[in-house]
């Protein structure tokens, strides 16, 4: 593909989709140059982010797991991505582990955002883990997705202070503000270098 061609981004969500909205708005405002959000795919029929995507005129697709195996489910998603000639896949609150077939098909072209300073606190409930460990600093990380759990190469990170009186909710909200800035920056970096 010529370097100047518009890069086609797919965003995978399972829920609220606020990072998806941050990416879509960054593309619209030109903060992620030469890119378009080609599709938003959800594994949950009632993911709130689907409506936010539709409001922005972005194609949406629901591919539920149902009775499928992980491989069968991911096959369907990969087929949808291939049909749309997707260049970059952004996981944004997508709550499923990808099959090795999916990772292989898009190796080096799948990003995820995680609400901690990886490699600290991978997996679920990263903000709760930070509080339970007494961390004084946490943050967020954008990384490439490989077969490890939240363990792929790091693209960008942002620190966020942990306050003495923080709850999971207050810390999550403070981290989320930074997520919404960091993810577009990281995507722009990756696309510029691809
Ligand atoms: C974010 O905290 C993200 O880091 C994590 O899941 C949350 C998704 O939020 N992976 P949203 O759906 O983007 O609002």
pLDDT band at 4 (very low <50, low <70, confident <90, very high): low
N- to C-terminal Cα distance for the chain?
A: 10
Do the Cβ atoms of 7 and 191 come closer than 8 Å? yes
- What residues flank ligand 1, with Cβ below 6 Å? 13, 15-19, 49, 92-93, 113-115, 176, 179
The closest of 29, 33, 9 to 91, measured between CA atoms, is 9
Ligand 1 atom, smallest distance to 112 CA: 10
- Ligand 1 centre distance from Cα of residue 181 (Å): 13
Q: For 69-83, write each residue's pLDDT tens digit.
A: 999 999 999 999 999
Ligand 1 atom, smallest distance to 115 CA: 4
Residue nearest to atom 6 of ligand 1 (CA): 93
Q: What is the 3-state secondary structure (H, E, C) of 115-176?
A: CCCCCCCCCCCHHHHHHHCCCCEEEEEEEECCCCCCCCCEEEEEEEECCCCCCHHHHHHHHH
Say what the alpha-carbon torsion angle 148, 124, 161, 151 is, to the nearest 10 degrees. Answer: 0
Q: Is 14 helix (H, G, I), strand (E, B) or coil?
A: coil
DSSP conformation letters of 11-43: EEESS--HHHHHHHHHHHTTSSTTEEEEEEEES
Structure tokens at 129: 């883990």
Residue nearest to atom 7 of ligand 1 (CA): 93
pLDDT band at 66 (very low <50, low <70, confident <90, very high): very high
Residue nearest to atom 8 of ligand 1 (CA): 93
Ligand 1 atom, smallest distance to 179 CA: 4
Q: For 86-129, write each residue's pLDDT tens digit.
A: 999 999 999 999 999 999 999 999 999 999 999 999 999 999 99
Q: Residue 42 pLDDT more than 70?
A: yes
Ligand 1 atom, smallest distance to 18 CA: 14
Q: For 137-173, write each residue's pLDDT tens digit.
A: 999 999 999 999 999 999 999 999 999 999 999 999 9
* Catalytic residue selected from 73, 114, 143, 180: 114
- Ligand 1 centre distance from Cα of residue 162 (Å): 18
Do the Cβ atoms of 106 and 81 come closer than 8 Å? yes
Q: Is 133 a catalytic residue?
A: no
Q: Residue 1 pLDDT more than 50?
A: no
Q: Residue 3 pLDDT more than 90?
A: no
Q: For 11-37, write each residue's pLDDT tens digit.
A: 999 999 999 999 999 999 999 999 999
From 37, 90, 92, give the residue whose CB has the most ligand 1 atoms within 8 Å, as the site to mutate.
92
């Amino acid at each position: 593909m010529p370097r100047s061609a518009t890069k086609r981004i797919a965003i995978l969500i399972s829920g609220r989709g606020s990072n998806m909205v941050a990416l879509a708005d960054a593309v619209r405002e030109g903060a992620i140059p030469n890119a378009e959000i080609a599709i938003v795919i959800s594994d949950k029929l009632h993911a709130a982010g689907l409506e936010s995507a539709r409001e922005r005129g972005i194609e949406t697709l629901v591919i539920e797991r149902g009775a499928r195996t992980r491989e069968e489910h991911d096959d369907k998603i990969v087929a949808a991505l291939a049909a749309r000639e997707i260049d970059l896949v952004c996981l944004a609150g997508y709550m499923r582990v990808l099959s090795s077939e999916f990772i292989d098909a898009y190796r080096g072209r799948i990003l995820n955002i995680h609400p901690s300073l990886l490699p600290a606190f991978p997996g679920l409930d990263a903000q709760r883990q930070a509080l339970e460990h007494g961390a004084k600093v946490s943050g967020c990380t954008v990384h490439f997705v490989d077969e490890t759990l939240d363990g792929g190469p790091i693209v960008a990170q942002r620190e966020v202070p942990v306050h003495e009186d923080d709850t999971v909710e207050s810390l999550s909200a403070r981290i989320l503000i930074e997520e919404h800035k960091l993810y577009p920056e990281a995507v722009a970096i990756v696309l510029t270098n691809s």
